[in-house]
A and B are shown apart, each in its own frame.
Chain A
Amino acid sequence: MKSAEEKIWNYIDGLCSKEEALEIERLLREDISFQNLYQEILSFDKHLKSTDLEEPSMGFSFAVMDKIRLQAQPLSLKAQVDKRIIYGIAASFILILSVIMAVAIAQTNWSASSGSFNMNYDVFKIGEGFSRTAIQAFLFFDIIIMLLTADYFFRKKSKLI
């Protein structure tokens, strides 16, 4: 249950519902004590709004700029990597790994009839379904992704406040 004071503050701040606002307006018309409390709070609110901010010393901005001259220039926004690009790269990375895993699993001899489980597949045979150039492109792409991810990670770490 909200107190009358809390209701009035919410009304003044514009934080109450339409029903609550109508109820307060009704009380303001009918209840003298509620009206007095409202006027008191409204006057206090106006007073709070009208107070001045504190003023720092005259040389404040000069002192700040002096300190800033010793700082390194902040990174340009152009140097930042969009998060969507990172997520896209991560998704591609996972997809490529999944495809390679799927091909590897498909080539594994799961037959147990010979009494032995053969997992000795040729690494280069994994790529039988792909051309050599495609595999090289995949590996090159993976290296680029790894470098970009590492760059993003270290950049983010150095930016933490």
Chain B
Amino acid sequence: MQQELTDIAIIDAVLAGDQQAYALLVKRYQRYVFTLALRFTKSREDAEEVAQDCFVKAFKYLSGYERKGKFTTWLYRIVYTTAMTYLRKKQVDVLSIDDENHQNVLDSHQASTDLNTERKSRDYYLNLAIESLLPDDASIITLFYKGEQSLEEIAQIMGIEANTAKVKLHRARGRLKIKLEQLLKSEAEDLI
């Protein structure tokens, strides 16, 4: 609640003419917006472009935020629609990475990443598994676990029914679990 009030105070300042106050909102949510954009673009450069575009759009239409729900729900809705438009424009291959590709990605990451601690390793494989999911699956998991959005809010963001969001989340987690198991299995086989 405190967080929400603070967001609104910043929004009021921006609408009153303090353009610099918007930097506070950008800094606060840049990681969330960037992560969500990355779930669609699969490329850091493109995700930065999409995320920047989202913040500019949010600024432009800030007075359109009706304050009925969380500011983040409104912001993520912009991210979702912008990222979907990006996918349609770029016609990015949104099919999940097959096992062979997983292995290639795995090899390239292994060369550059330090995986000494168990925690780091687990996070690494989980992120890799999320990256390999379809954008819808990856974004619903990110919104639920990282974006602090309820199923009703996710439904609003994605323009679907709350029950559909619940089913989608359940299926996305199931697919993620399978992907993670496949990744860990191929890693174990490599070690043998």
Contact = CB atoms under 8 A, between A and B. Distances in A.
Interface in B11-27: 12, 14-17, 19-20, 22-23, 26-27
B146 A51 contact: yes
Interface in A67-86: 67-69, 71-77, 79-80
A64 B55 contact: yes
Nearest to A161: B61
A114 interface: no
A145 B120 CA distance: 64
A60 B146 contact: no
A75 B57 contact: no
Interface stretch (B32-40, B91-99, B105-113): B32-40
Contact of B127 (A5, A51, A55, A60): A51
Interface residues of A, number: 35
Contact of B30 (A44, A56, A77, A159): A56
Contacts of B78: 161
A141 B55 CA distance: 42
A53 interface: yes
A53 B35 contact: yes
Interface string A128-151: 000000000000000000000000
A72 B60 CA distance: 7
A87 to B, nearest CB: 16
Contacts of B52: 60, 63-64, 67
A54 B142 CA distance: 11
Contacts of A15: 151, 166
B15 A54 contact: no
Given A56-B48, A161-B61, A49 B145 contact: yes
B48 A75 contact: no
Contacts of B145: 48-49, 51
Nearest to B14: A74
A79 B126 CA distance: 47
Contact of A67 (B27, B47, B56, B64): B56
A129 B152 CA distance: 55
Contact of B22 (A5, A47, A68, A76): A68
Contacts of B170: 6, 9
Given A5-B174, A69-B19, A73-B17, A57 B48 contact: yes
Interface of B: 12, 14-17, 19-20, 22-23, 26-27, 30-32, 34-35, 38, 44, 47-48, 51-52, 55-57, 59-64, 78, 81, 122-123, 126-127, 130, 141, 145-146, 151, 166, 170, 173-174, 177
